[in-house]
Amino acid sequence: MSAATRATIGLILIAAILASLPLWTGAANLRLVGEILSYMALAVLWNLLAGYAGLVSVGQQAFLGLGGYTLFICTIWLGMPPLAAVPLAAVAACLAGVIFAPLLFRLEGAYFAVGTWVAAETVALIFAAIPSLGAGAGMSLPAAAVKGIASSRSMREWLIYWIMLGLALAILGGTFALIRSKAGLALMALRDNPTAAGSVGVDIWWTRFWTYIGVAAATGAVGSVIFLQKLRISPDAGFSLNDWTAIVIFIVVIGGIGRIEGAIVGTLLYFLLREMLIDYGTIYLIVLGLVGILVMIFSRGGVWGLVERHLGWSLLPTRRLRD
Partner 1 sequence: MAEPILSVDGLSSGYGDFQALFGVSLDLAPKSILGLVGSNGAGKSTLFKAILGLLPRAREMVRFQGQPIGDVPTRRLAQIGIVMVPEGRRLFRSLSVEENLVLAAEHGRKGAWTVQRVFELFPILGEKRRQGATSLSGGQQQMVAIGRALVANPEVILFDEISLGLAPIVVNDVYAALPEINASGISAIVVEQDVDRVRRLAHQLVCLNEGRVVLSGPAGDFTKAQLTAAYFGE
**Chain residues in the site for partner 1 (CB under 8 A):** 182, 185-186, 188-189, 191-193, 195-204, 258, 319-320, 322
Are 233 and 89 in contact, with CB atoms under 8 Å apart? no
Instruction: Return the amino acid letter for 232.
Output: R
Cα(255)–Cα(101) distance, integer angstroms: 27
Query: In terms of CB distance, is 48 or 74 closer to partner 1?
Result: 48
CA distance 295 to 187: 25
Give CA–CA dist 42/182, Å, rounded: 24
Q: Please say which residue, 36 or 202, places its beta carbon nearer to partner 1.
A: 202
Angle between helix axes 82-104 and 61-76 (nearest 10 degrees) is: 140
d(CA 183, CA 81): 36
Minimal distance, residue 62 CB to partner 1, in Å: 29
Residue 58 CB, shortest distance to partner 1, in Å, is: 25
CB of 197 to partner 1, least distance (A): 7
**Smallest distance, partner 1 to C-beta of residue 258, A:** 8
DSSP helix/strand/coil, 140: strand
**CA 178, CA 318: separation in Å to the nearest integer?**
10
**Cβ–Cβ under 8 Å, residues 223 and 63:** yes
Residue 128 or 197: which CB sits closer to partner 1? Answer: 197
Q: Are 56 and 237 in contact (CB under 8 A)?
A: no
Q: How far is the CB of 90 from partner 1 (least distance, A)?
A: 29
Q: Are 160 and 225 in contact (CB under 8 A)?
A: yes
Q: Which CB, 33 or 189, lies closer to partner 1?
A: 189
Can you list the alpha helix ranges (DSSP code H) found in the chain?
Answer: 3-19, 21-24, 27-46, 61-76, 82-104, 109-128, 143-149, 153-180, 182-192, 194-199, 204-230, 235-238, 241, 247-255, 260-277, 282-298, 302-311
CB 66 within 8 A of CB 273: no
Sequence-ordered list of residues with C-beta below 8 angstroms from that of 265, at least 6 positions apart, any chain = 255, 256, 302, 303, 304, 307
Closer residue to partner 1 (CB): 87 or 184: 184
**Shortest spacing between CB 36 and partner 1, in angstroms:** 28
> In terms of CB distance, is 1 or 182 closer to partner 1?
182
Q: Residue 2 or 25: which CB sits closer to partner 1? A: 2
Q: Least distance (Å) from partner 1 to the CB of residue 200?
A: 4
Which of residues 183 and 288 has its CB atom nearest to partner 1 in the complex? 183
